[in-house]
Structure 1
Amino acid sequence: MISHNVNTLWGQAIVEELLHAGVKHACITPGGRSAPLSFAMLTNPEFTTYVHLDERSAGFFALGRAKRTGVPTPIVCTSGTAVANLHPSVIEADLSRTPMLLFTADRPSDLLHSGSNQTISQDNIFSKSARWNRTLPEPELNERKFRSLRSAIARSLSECNGMSPGPVHLNVPFRKPLEPNDTPDESVIDFIANNPLAAEGRTGPYTKITSGKSIISDEDLLRISNLLSESENGLIIAGPSNPNSISPDSLSLLSNSLGFPILADSLSGLRFGKHVESSHICGGYDSYLNPITTKNWPNPDVIIRFGAAPISLSLQNYLLRSGAYELLIDPTGKARDPAFSSSELVSCDPTWFSNSISSRLSLDPHDLSNHFLSAESDYWALIDSQNSFFEGSIASSLLDISPANSTIIVSNSMPIRDIDRFGKPASKQLTLIGNRGASGIDGVISTALGAASSTTDQVTLLIGDVAYYHDLSGLIALNKFNLKLIIIEINNNGGGIFYRLPISKHDPPFTSGFRTPHDLDLSHSSNLYGFDFTRVSTIEDFNLEYESALNQNKSCVIEVISDPLENQSTRENLQNTVIQNI
């Protein structure tokens, strides 16, 4: 039996409200000031905790879980710079619209700006990245304050799971003592007995949240329907989205109803799945949407775009050149339009919009649709005929070999570009996840391990050597939490992506200041963290090693050695072949 003081009772109330709302997992980092909340989570048998050694890894681990499930995994940390180390994952959660709930323990307010140890200004530390920020009152045996606390937990979950999901920051000050009492505290016992609603809450959430969705008026729906019905050449663009935020079946139905092809970003959730069998899904456009290939194509006159801005710059430039009327469908009413090409921002739920338009219209495919159909067929036939070994062939082979119902985490820099360009649409169900909110290379391993902890899918990570090095500390979670993850690490000894930029022609300082070769033997990470590490340098060896890892159901790293200059040359030659033949 726990002998509560006001702090531990406060922590217990927070955990009770999380459980009532269906939140049953949390990431904890060690710290004395956060002890009341950590203790409540660690001692509750209904709660599953992942205890991390550092906050940066914990933040990205929680991010990966939320990206895969759509449910926030609360993060608990102590005061001081520990809080600041969460900031990179908070930024990604904000910009990728991923729910995140942060509990940062704090010192009492009278210690702020006093020179007190481990005391910094934590209130609103995440600034505009947080959907809601609140410093809770210091725990006190006060009936109103406990009701306020329980209400705050409900609101925090509503805010981070709202129309625009994202981070919520609750700053939680505690005054000593931070651990349970050795003997019962009569004042706490009396408070619980006399204030059962405040001290123990309800049988369900203290404040139940009923969510809705945004729709547009019948008049606007009719106007947009008329616009689409008059279109001679239309397109649907599905940009990056978190899993389950856009319905593939609804967008496929919309595509078939309008006769518009879907240009599906690799992270849209539309490029892979059974719907591909019955709809016109395009995935090779990054290569063939160039001015030479499309010079005799009719321009699109209407474009319907969902999700974030597409990864493909070729696609973004094509949309700008077209001059089409672009409808940007966004449930938050906030434009993600870095090319500034949208003509109308439609604030409504994407699935509702798709179903509503589909029920009103039935149009025939148009000339532009036929051009895309032909280009797609020619492009993938050309890619399938290539036998070059380069980073793009690894991305393609990874998708081909991965079993149905796999989850694939894709790092930024070149891996996501290769997946986007060489990932052929397929009816096999694959869930692809990437940190494309801020597009950083930090925390990618931890993101993948978080996703692996939240699904029974086979989980594979495609990552570059610099991003791998950047998050080496995150690998401790692999065996600590008994997780299964296959890591495909492309090692081109530094920043190979910079060969794509004009700065590569200026050496020095290109090699030392941009390419930054590290000359590290990354296989030593396997000895530190206890997993198998294999190195390959041919596509045949990669295929064998990846298939073996899948069959053995084991965690491992397969390092693919790549020459960045040869890799860039192969890409350029392949693109020239596309221009000449499509």
Structure 2
Amino acid sequence: MTSDKTNVRLLAEIFIKKGLSDIIISPGSRNAPIIIAFAGRPEVHALSIVDERSAAFFAIGMAQQTGKTVAVACTSGSAALNYAPAIAEAYYRKLPLLVLTADRPPELIDRGYGQTIRQHDVYRNYVKGSFELPVEVENEQSRQETMNIINEAINLTQYPEPGPVHINIPFREPLYGTTEETPDVEITDFEKQEDDVQHLAEELASSWNDRNKVMIIAGQQNRNNELNTLLAALVQQKKAVLLSETTSNVNGDSFIDTIDNVISTINEQEAADFQPGLLITFGGPVVSKMVKKFLRDHPPEEHWHISPSGEETDTYFKLRKVLEAEPEVLFEELLPQVKKNDSRYTVTWKNRKELVVSRRDAYLKKTPYSDLRVFDFILKNLPEGTNLHLGNSTPVRYSQLFGSSSKFHYFSNRGVSGIDGQLSTVAGSAFVNDELHVLVTGDLGFFYDSNGLMNKYLKSNFKIIVINNGGGGIFRFIDGPSTTEHLEEFFEARHNWKAERIAEAFDVKYFKAENQEQFKQNFTCWMAEQSGPALLEIFTPAEKNAEILLEYFRYLK
């Protein structure tokens, strides 16, 4: 049984024939044909999540685990606008999302009908493509055109790099008709263009070999063991250094994985020793503001960015060329072509990292109960194989101070770095991946997305840590907000809220800690909870947190 609307019937059939199965539907009436066409098919795994914003972030969580395109579908009107934050995140994170919005037919737009807005092209700034299906598929030509649109839209979610694509689908009433007819459809796949990687590697090698100081910065990405091995080999060259973050998901003793720790200690007199001649970047966003400022103040001679889709990301205002290739393919071609020399650039960075790490560890030994001490304990005591999801904005920044551990696979919504959708994203990840998923979030991030717990798909492998310091603690660390009289009310948003009743409302097991000993004890109980999702709320002192972190950076110097 499927919908009698030909446009959506073709869409569902092509979706299935392309090997896709996951769709998250938010309830409504205008999207009834979508519900009937997809939810009635045994090949489709359809979920129902009421809150569209949460549903779309849940889909992001699924997509970041599987790499497969996940569809979301909603009714018309403001429901479509609620997808916008997650669509923007998927766009900048390069995650495959197929956004299906039901709409009224064109003749009823701007005529005073309820639940109606101008939906055509509504996400145009944050999608790879925006399409609209015809209301009626009346003949073979329109049928072929409709199939072409659907094929192109679904292909675009994955090629040349993943991202969100929007299909707006107008329907005329009646909406609930059904048919037994399964349409014959044509499937077209994208034709991948072969890049001349050898030529690109030769160009890059020429620039590499002309310089004594080469810096590689790894942005956000999923773990890639082949790439990790190649990067480790490249930085064996005495003139190359790799800067990485937890969200880069690369590991190596020779990598500089505590960027802020190191850069915070570099003074103007020695900055030239750390300044690169050639900068190579790949991957997604970089968390560190310090490295961006350092490279703007002490720029490389040139910057080469690696992007499979040719995206021009000129973060450091020195971009010379974009290399359209997969990083691991390009680096494999590059490695045999680079020449060693007697540069001390690698040693300069490595020695500073070793000094800073020893100072960090000494400081932590005398640090009282605080955010910093809590993070140290969490990262040391979470088990091997944890999928560690870091909330914005303080948690993901704290994690950078401790470096990257191979026992974790790190995730964070750093596409647009918002606090919205953190719970929903991790819930989606844990739903499709049976490994342990832990979200470490601040209090405001948790409360903002508490609707992320309002669904039927929360599993026992989903665990939450809420660090509750009574507001947006990051504003106590930033020059400007920390000195204004409006800090507590308008920046930090001071509050005395607690997560306990929210956890109770959604049947999430709740634990809390208000001091170091209670934290250690209840952390063990929280980890052992297997009957369902579990939440550990850790209360820390906001004013002391700021003092301790500021003193931490002074101590490193």
TM-score when scaled to structure 1? Answer: 0.88
**Are 1:36 and 2:33 an aligned pair?**
yes
Are residues 427 and 440 of structure 1, via their aligned partners in 2, closer, same or farther at CA, if it must alter by over 3 Å?
closer
Report what 2:263 is aligned to: 289
**Are 1:494 and 2:471 an aligned pair?**
yes
Percent identity at matched positions?
Answer: 24
* Counterpart among 224, 229, 238 of residue 209 in structure 2: 229
Distance in 1 separating the partners of 2:255 and 2:516: 27
Decide which moves more: 516-525 or 341-350: 341-350
* Counterpart among 93, 99, 119 of residue 116 in structure 2: 119
**Are 1:463 and 2:441 an aligned pair?**
yes
* Counterpart among 192, 195, 199 of residue 211 in structure 1: 192
Distance in 2 separating the partners of 1:531 and 1:432: 23
Distance in 2 separating the partners of 1:578 and 1:561: 26
Contact 1:308 1:336 in 2 (8 A): no
Distance in 2 separating the partners of 1:171 and 1:301: 48
Distance in 2 separating the partners of 1:94 and 1:75: 15
For residues 62-108 of structure 1, give each alpha carbon's deviation from its aligned partner in whole angstroms, at most 9, with x where no partner exists: 11212222222100101111101111111111122222110101111
The one-letter code sitting in structure 2 at the alignment partner of 1:427 is S
How far the C-alpha of 1:213 sits from its partner, in A, is 5.6
Are residues 16 and 397 of structure 1, via their aligned partners in 2, closer, same or farther at CA, if it must alter by over 3 Å?
farther
Report what 1:263 is aligned to: 243
The one-letter code sitting in structure 1 at the alignment partner of 2:164 is P
* Counterpart among 305, 313, 318 of residue 289 in structure 2: 313
* Counterpart among 320, 324, 328 of residue 300 in structure 2: 324
The one-letter code sitting in structure 1 at the alignment partner of 2:39 is L
Distance in 2 separating the partners of 1:307 and 1:348: 12
Distance in 2 separating the partners of 1:163 and 1:395: 38
* Counterpart among 70, 78, 101 of residue 81 in structure 1: 78
The one-letter code sitting in structure 2 at the alignment partner of 1:510 is L
Decide which moves more: 9-18 or 438-447: 9-18
Report what 1:346 is aligned to: 323
**Are 1:303 and 2:279 an aligned pair?**
yes
Contact 1:260 1:365 in 2 (8 A): no
Contact 2:466 2:535 in 1 (8 A): yes
Contact 2:205 2:337 in 1 (8 A): yes
How far the C-alpha of 1:507 sits from its partner, in A, is 4.7
Report what 1:70 is aligned to: 67
Are residues 115 and 394 of structure 1, via their aligned partners in 2, closer, same or farther at CA, if it must alter by over 3 Å?
same
* Counterpart among 311, 314, 332 of residue 334 in structure 1: 311
Distance in 1 separating the partners of 2:256 and 2:485: 41
Contact 1:476 1:529 in 2 (8 A): yes
Report what 1:370 is aligned to: 347
Aligned pairs for 1:17-28 (under 5 A) are 17-28=14-25
The one-letter code sitting in structure 1 at the alignment partner of 2:553 is Q
The one-letter code sitting in structure 1 at the alignment partner of 2:519 is F
The one-letter code sitting in structure 2 at the alignment partner of 1:81 is S
Contact 2:442 2:468 in 1 (8 A): yes
**Are 1:407 and 2:390 an aligned pair?**
no
Distance in 2 separating the partners of 1:550 and 1:22: 36
Q: Secondary structure at the match of 1:282?
A: coil
Distance in 2 separating the partners of 1:283 and 1:454: 29
Contact 2:460 2:534 in 1 (8 A): no
Report what 1:425 is aligned to: 404
**Are 1:48 and 2:45 an aligned pair?**
yes
How far the C-alpha of 1:61 sits from its partner, in A, is 0.8
**Are 1:485 and 2:465 an aligned pair?**
no
Distance in 1 separating the partners of 2:536 and 2:240: 40
How far the C-alpha of 1:257 sits from its partner, in A, is 5.4
Distance in 2 separating the partners of 1:392 and 1:337: 33
For residues 296-350 of structure 1, give each alpha carbon's deviation from its aligned partner in whole angstroms, at most 9, with x where no partner exists: 4453322222123421122222223433232222222223333424344333322
**Are 1:355 and 2:332 an aligned pair?**
yes
Decide which moves more: 289-298 or 26-35: 289-298
Are residues 365 and 383 of structure 1, via their aligned partners in 2, closer, same or farther at CA, if it must alter by over 3 Å?
farther
Are residues 94 and 427 of structure 1, via their aligned partners in 2, closer, same or farther at CA, if it must alter by over 3 Å?
closer
Report what 2:499 is aligned to: 522
Contact 1:392 1:419 in 2 (8 A): no
Distance in 2 separating the partners of 1:547 and 1:365: 50
Contact 1:214 1:349 in 2 (8 A): no
Contact 1:298 1:367 in 2 (8 A): no
Q: Secondary structure at the match of 2:319?
A: coil
Distance in 2 separating the partners of 1:77 and 1:483: 28
The one-letter code sitting in structure 1 at the alignment partner of 2:166 is H
Aligned pairs for 1:233-252 (under 5 A) are 233-242=213-222, 247-252=227-232
Report what 2:421 is aligned to: 443
Are residues 150 and 252 of structure 1, via their aligned partners in 2, closer, same or farther at CA, if it must alter by over 3 Å?
farther
Distance in 1 separating the partners of 2:327 and 2:40: 42
Contact 1:130 1:169 in 2 (8 A): yes
Q: Secondary structure at the match of 2:337?
A: coil
The one-letter code sitting in structure 2 at the alignment partner of 1:347 is E
Distance in 1 separating the partners of 2:143 and 2:515: 62
Decide which moves more: 412-421 or 374-383: 374-383
The one-letter code sitting in structure 1 at the alignment partner of 2:68 is V
* Counterpart among 249, 253, 274 of residue 233 in structure 2: 253
Q: Secondary structure at the match of 2:550?
A: helix
Contact 2:127 2:163 in 1 (8 A): yes
Contact 1:491 1:561 in 2 (8 A): yes
Distance in 2 separating the partners of 1:11 and 1:78: 14
The one-letter code sitting in structure 2 at the alignment partner of 1:315 is V
The one-letter code sitting in structure 2 at the alignment partner of 1:200 is D
For residues 351-383 of structure 1, give each alpha carbon's deviation from its aligned partner in whole angstroms, at most 9, with x where no partner exists: 221111013225267412112222222322333
Report what 1:195 is aligned to: none
Unaligned runs of 5+ in 2: none
Contact 1:215 1:352 in 2 (8 A): no
Contact 2:147 2:185 in 1 (8 A): yes
Decide which moves more: 90-99 or 374-383: 374-383
Report what 1:13 is aligned to: 10
Are residues 246 and 497 of structure 1, via their aligned partners in 2, closer, same or farther at CA, if it must alter by over 3 Å?
farther
Report what 1:196 is aligned to: none
For residues 273-302 of structure 1, give each alpha carbon's deviation from its aligned partner in whole angstroms, at most 9, with x where no partner exists: xxx2xx622212202213645744453322
Distance in 2 separating the partners of 1:481 and 1:427: 27
Distance in 1 separating the partners of 2:346 and 2:30: 61
Contact 2:434 2:461 in 1 (8 A): no
For residues 112-138 of structure 1, give each alpha carbon's deviation from its aligned partner in whole angstroms, at most 9, with x where no partner exists: 111112121100001221111111001
How far the C-alpha of 1:26 sits from its partner, in A, is 0.8
Report what 2:452 is aligned to: 474
